[in-house]
């Protein structure tokens, strides 16, 4: 089994080692963290599922971009963007 190092996982602040852990139903390679046993897929078909998309949404919203502009830049639909913004604000209310 191949071991690959990636810096983004649920193990915050560490470079984790991942091993191949089968395939998804669509045929994408699935990986498992050797430390926390979390599974993930690194190559997504849609931009919506990428890990840093919420950070970009927050950044563009702070910069004052409109919903349609953010959706066009991130190459996602406006409906998906609005759902993500509602999800992000719900998480912020939960934290405070």
Say what the pLDDT of residue 1 is. Answer: 47
> For the chain (length 96 residues), average pLDDT per consecutive 10?
55 71 86 82 71 87 95 93 90 71
Q: What is the largest CA-CA distance in the chain?
A: 47
pLDDT for the residue 79? 94
Q: How far apart are CA 67 and CA 81, in angstroms?
A: 7
The per-residue pLDDT for 3 is 54
pTM over 0.85: no
Strands (E), the chain: 3-6, 16-23, 29-33, 39-40
* Residues with Cβ within 8 Å of residue 15, at least 6 apart in sequence: 5, 6, 7
Domain range annotation of the chain:
3-40, 47-95
């Amino acid at each position: 089994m191949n071991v690959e190092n990636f810096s983004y996982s649920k193990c915050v602040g560490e470079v984790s080692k991942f091993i191949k852990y089968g395939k998804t139903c669509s045929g994408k390679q699935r990986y498992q963290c050797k430390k926390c046993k979390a599974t993930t897929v690194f190559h997504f078909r849609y931009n919506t599922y990428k890990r840093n998309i919420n950070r970009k949404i927050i950044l563009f919203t702070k910069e004052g971009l409109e919903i349609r502009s953010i959706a066009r830049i991130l190459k996602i639909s406006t409906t998906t963007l609005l759902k993500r913004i509602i999800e992000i604000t719900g998480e912020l209310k939960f934290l405070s």
